[in-house]
Amino acid sequence: MKNIIIGTAGHVDHGKTALIKALTGIETDRIKEEKKRGITIELGFAYLDLPDGEKAGIIDVPGHEKFVKNMLAGAGGIDLALLVVAADEGFMPQTKEHLGILNLLNISEGIIVITKKDMVDEDWLEVVCDDVRNEVKGTFLENAQIIAVSSYTGEGIDELRQAIFALIDKNTQIKNMDIPFRIPVDRIFSVEGFGTVITGTLIEGKMKVGDAVTIYPSRIESRIRNLQVHSHDVEEAYAGQRVAVNLAGLKKSDLNKGDVVAKPKSMHTTMMIDIKLNILKDCEREILNATRLHLYHGARDVLCKVVLLDRDSISAGESCYAQLRLEEEIAVKTGDRFVLRFYSPLETIGGGVILDSNPFKHKRNDPAVLESLHIKENGSDKEKISVALRDYSSRFETLDFLQVQTAIPKEEFDQQIQKLVKDKTAFRVNDNIVIHNDYLTHLKDAAVKMLTAYHKENPLRDGMKRDEFRSKFLKYEDMAVVDKITDSLVNRKFLKLVNGCVALYDFEPETDNNQDEIANAFLQGGFAPESPDQIAVRFPKVKNFKQVIESLVNSGKLVRVEDKILFHVDYYNKALELAKEHIAQNGQITLAEMRDLMGTSRKFAVAVLEYWDRRNITKKVGDARVLK
C-alpha cells in the first residue's frame, strides 16, 4: 500500500489553494479570516483520488512570510512536492525559502507547477519557465517536470494529475509499517459528543482504534476512540496518511500544537540533540557559536542555542556537526529532519538531520565526539549500535532504550546486538542489558586498581569482603548486575573468589610466623577465650595484629561471634555439638543450660546463642532456644 502526502509550496497568492481545488474539487481555505483575506493561514487538507482507488492526501501550506511556521508544520510529512510559481509574477523570495525548506527536509520528488497560465502570453510563459529552471539548479527539482496550468479554465490540470500519478507509481517507496506509530500534532479541536481530536500526518507505523497512546513530551496517556482518514471513519490508519484521531479522556487544553502522539514507550524526550547542520547556499548570515535560533521539527517551534562542535562560525553552503541545546523539552527520533531559522529577524538559515536524539552534553573540539558523530551519520547499523553501547554502558541503559535511541527497527537491532555479543564487542549482562566491551575493560581496570591497593594495605587477608567490593566497585542499585560483571571478571581470570572475598587472580595472602601461635592462644582459652586486645599484648612484635586476626577468621581458624569474642574453631564446633545434643534430648536449651554445658560465664553463652540466632541456626522461643 502506497500512502502518499502531496504538499504545495510557493509564494503567497500564487494560486496554491485554487490549484488544489481544481485538482480535487475540495476547498482548503476553511476559516473566515482566510476567505476574507484570500490567503492560507492554517494548514488546509484535501485528497486526490488515485487510479487504483486509493487516495493521496494533499496539504495546502501557507505562502505568506508570516505563516512560514505553519508551512513548516505541514512540510515534515510530505512525500511529493508541488512547487507553485505564478506565471504573472515568477520566482519570488518566498518561493526560494520554501524550496530551501523542502531541500532541508530531504524531500526528493516533486513537480514544478506554473499557475495562472491564462494571464500571460506564450513568450512570457517561456521566460518564466526558463527563469524557474535556472532557480532550481542544484536542488531536488533540478530535473523535475514543469507543467503550466490554469486553475480557472482547467487547462493543464489533467496533465498535472497524470504526472502526479506517474510520479507516485514510479518513485514512491512503500513505507515501513512495522515500527511504532507516530503523529506530530498540527491541529487540535473539540467535537461535540466526541471530545478532543487531533490531526496530523502519520509519519511512521500503523495505528488502530483502541490502541493506547502517549502524548509527548508531557507523557500523558490516552487511547484512540475513533480514527478518520479523508473524512471517513476507519479501524486502522497507516504511515503516509492524513489522520484525525479522537483521543479518549483528554481535554483540548491537555495538548499543544507540536506535541507527538505515539505508541507508549516508543520515544524519549530531550533538551539536547546532536545534528548534522547544513546552511543554505543563499544564506546571507554568518552563524556564530552559541547563536540563538528557532528549531522547527514536525509541528514544533522551539528556541535553542547552537553549539558548533568543530569551529567558531559557519556560513552559506557549509556543513558541520553541532549540538542544539533547547529551551523546552521535545520528543524527536534519530534520523528526523529539521529546519533552523534565525532568532530575529525570522529567516530560514539551514537545517539538517538529527544524529542523536538524547545525547550527553559535549565539549567542543573533542576528536572522540566528532568521530562518534561521523559514525552516527555514515556508519552501518552495527557501527551505530556499537557507538550507542559505548556512550550509554556506564548508565546500564536497557536494550529497549537503545533501540529507541538509535531508531533502528527492533528486529534488525536485535540481530546486530547478537552479532556484537558474538564477536566480543559487547557483553550481555542480562536479557535487557548489554554493555560495550570497552566499558567492561574499564571496569576490569578499575577493579584491578582498587584490589591492588587493598592487597597492599591488607597483605594477610584473602581479599576484600564481597559486600564491600560490591559497594566500592560499582555504584549501581541492582546488585545482580554488579555480581554478573564480577563473575565475568572471575571467569576471565582477572579476579577470584576466596572464602567470601574478592581478590586479584594471582594474589596470595602473606603468611605470618605468629599466626599459629595466635590461633593457639584462642584455643587455650577454650569456651572463655581472652579478647583480641588481651592476646595482642602477648605478641608485641606483631605490627599488623588486626590483619592477622582477620586472616585467621577468613581462613576459618577463628569464629567471630561478637566483636571482642572469638572462639577457636574447635571450641566453636564443640559448643554447637553440645547445644544440638541437648536440644535433641530436651527439645530446647536455655541460656543457663548453655552456660553450664560450656562451663563458662553467662557472657560467652549469650554471645554464642545470639550468634546462632543471627545465623538462623537457632530461634528464641520464650526464654529458650530451639533449632530452626
| 508-523: average pLDDT | 82
Task: Determine the average pLDDT of the residues in 314-319.
Answer: 94
Average pLDDT value over all residues in the chain: 88
Q: Out of 361-375, 393-407, 537-551, 566-580, pick the least confident.
A: 537-551
Residue type, 623: D
| Rounded distance between C-alpha atoms, residue 80 and residue 93, angstroms | 21
**Dihedral over alpha carbons 226, 330, 4, 102 (to 10 degrees):** 150
Among 185, 208, 216, smallest CA distance to 198 is for 185
pLDDT value of residue 561: 94
Strands 589-590 and 565-568: what pairing? Answer: unpaired
Q: Which of 172, 177, 183, 179 is nearest to 73 (CA)?
A: 183
Q: Is 519 left (phi over 0), alpha (psi -120 to 50) or beta?
A: alpha
Alpha-carbon gap, residue 340 to 277, rounded angstroms: 9
Listed range (34-38, 304-308, 357-361, 578-582) with the worst mean pLDDT: 34-38
Please tell me the least confidently modeled range out of 23-32, 203-212, 429-438: 23-32
Beta bridge partners of 146: 112
Placement of cell 496539504 in the chain: 59
Residue 252 DSSP one-character state: G
Instruction: Kindly report the number of other CB atoms within 10 A of residue 60's CB atom.
Output: 27
* pLDDT score, position 62: 56
Smallest CA-to-CA distance from 521 within 577, 567, 561 is with 567
On the question of pLDDT at 41 being above 70, the answer is: no
Q: What's the whole-number mean pLDDT along residues 251-277?
A: 94
Pick from 11-20, 503-512, 597-606: least confident: 11-20
Average pLDDT in the 364-379 region? Answer: 95
Question: Topology of domain 272-369, per CATH?
Answer: Elongation Factor Tu (Ef-tu); domain 3 (2.40.30)
CATH class, 515-627 region: mainly alpha
Please report, rounded to a whole number, the percentage of residues in the chain having pLDDT higher than 70. Answer: 93
Whole-angstrom Cα distance, residue 118 to residue 112?
Answer: 17
State whether CATH 2.40.30.10 applies to domain 182-262.
yes
Residue 446 neighbours by CB distance under 10 Å: 13
- Give the closest residue to 389 by CA, choosing from 420, 410, 411: 420
Domain 5-171 fold: Rossmann fold (3.40.50)
Question: What percentage of residues in the chain have a pLDDT greater than 90?
Answer: 62
Give dist(CA 433, CA 482) in Å, integer: 12
Please write the tens of the pLDDT for every residue from 268-297.
999 999 999 999 988 889 999 999 999 999
Question: What is the pLDDT, as a whole number, of residue 445?
Answer: 97
- 418-422, 515-519, 527-531, range with the lowest pLDDT: 515-519
Pairing between β-strand 195-201 and β-strand 187-191 as defined by DSSP bridges: antiparallel
Average of per-residue pLDDT across 6-11: 84
Band (75; pLDDT cuts 50, 70, 90): low
Q: Do residues 391 and 360 lie in contact, with contact meaning Cβ atoms separated by under 8 Å? A: yes
Q: Where in the chain is the domain with CATH 1.10.10.10?
A: 379-510, 515-627
Q: How far is CA 31 from the centre of its chain?
A: 39
- What is the model's pLDDT at position 160? 94
CATH code 2.40.30.10 region(s) in the chain? 182-262, 272-369
Predicted pLDDT at 513: 59
pLDDT at site 449: 96
Q: Is the pLDDT of residue 43 over 60?
A: no
Question: Rounded CA gap, 78 and 140, in Å?
Answer: 14
**Cα distance between residue 417 and residue 386, in whole Å:** 8
Which among 624, 590, 599 is positioned nearest to 528, based on CA atoms? 599
Pick the CATH number of 379-510 from 1.10.240.10, 1.10.10.10, 3.30.930.10, 3.30.300.30: 1.10.10.10
Q: Which residues contact 121 (CB under 8 A, 6 or more apart)?
A: none
Beta strand 195-201 with 348-356 is unpaired
Q: pLDDT at residue 35 above 50?
A: no
Q: pTM for the whole thing?
A: 0.78
Provide the pLDDT for residue 38: 37
191-230 pLDDT per residue, tens: 887 889 888 888 889 999 999 999 999 999 999 999 988 7
Residue 54, burial from CB neighbour count under 10 angstroms (0-12, 13-18, 19+): middle
